[in-house]
A = this chain, B = another copy of it.
Amino acid sequence: MEKKLILLGLLQSREMHCYRIIEFLDGSEALPVTLKKANVYRLLADMEKDGWLTHFSEQEGNRPQRKVYTVTEAGRKAYKDLLRQSLSSYPRPEFPGICGLDFTSSLPQEEVVSLLEKKLGLMEAKYRELDTIPSEIRNSHLCIEYMHRFYKHEIEWLKEVIST
Interface residues of A (CB under 8 A from B): 2, 5-6, 9, 32-34, 79-80, 83-84, 86-104, 106-107, 111-112, 115-116, 118-119, 122-123, 126, 141-143, 146-147, 149-150, 153, 157, 161
CA distance A151 to B79 in the complex (A): 28
- Give chain B nearest CB distance to A35 CB in angstroms: 10
A-B contact pairs, 11 of them (CB 8 A): A2-B100, A5-B99, A9-B106, A32-B99, A34-B94, A89-B119, A90-B123, A95-B143, A95-B150, A102-B141, A102-B143
Interchain CB contact under 8 A, A5 and B100:
yes
Given A102-B141, A123-B90, A141-B102, A107 contacting B95 (CB threshold 8 A): no
8 tightest Cβ-Cβ pairs between the two chains A and B: A86-B100, A90-B122, A87-B115, A101-B142, A88-B115, A32-B95, A2-B99, A88-B118
Interchain CB contact under 8 A, B90 and A126:
yes
CB neighbours (8 Å) of A9 from chain B are 102-103, 106
CB neighbours (8 Å) of A33 from chain B are 94-96, 99
CB neighbours (8 Å) of A141 from chain B are 102
Number of copies: 2
CA distance A99 to B116 in the complex (A): 29
Interchain CB contact under 8 A, B112 and A87:
yes
CB neighbours (8 Å) of A32 from chain B are 94-96, 98-99
- Give chain B nearest CB distance to A120 CB in angstroms: 9
CB neighbours (8 Å) of A142 from chain B are 98, 101-102, 104, 161
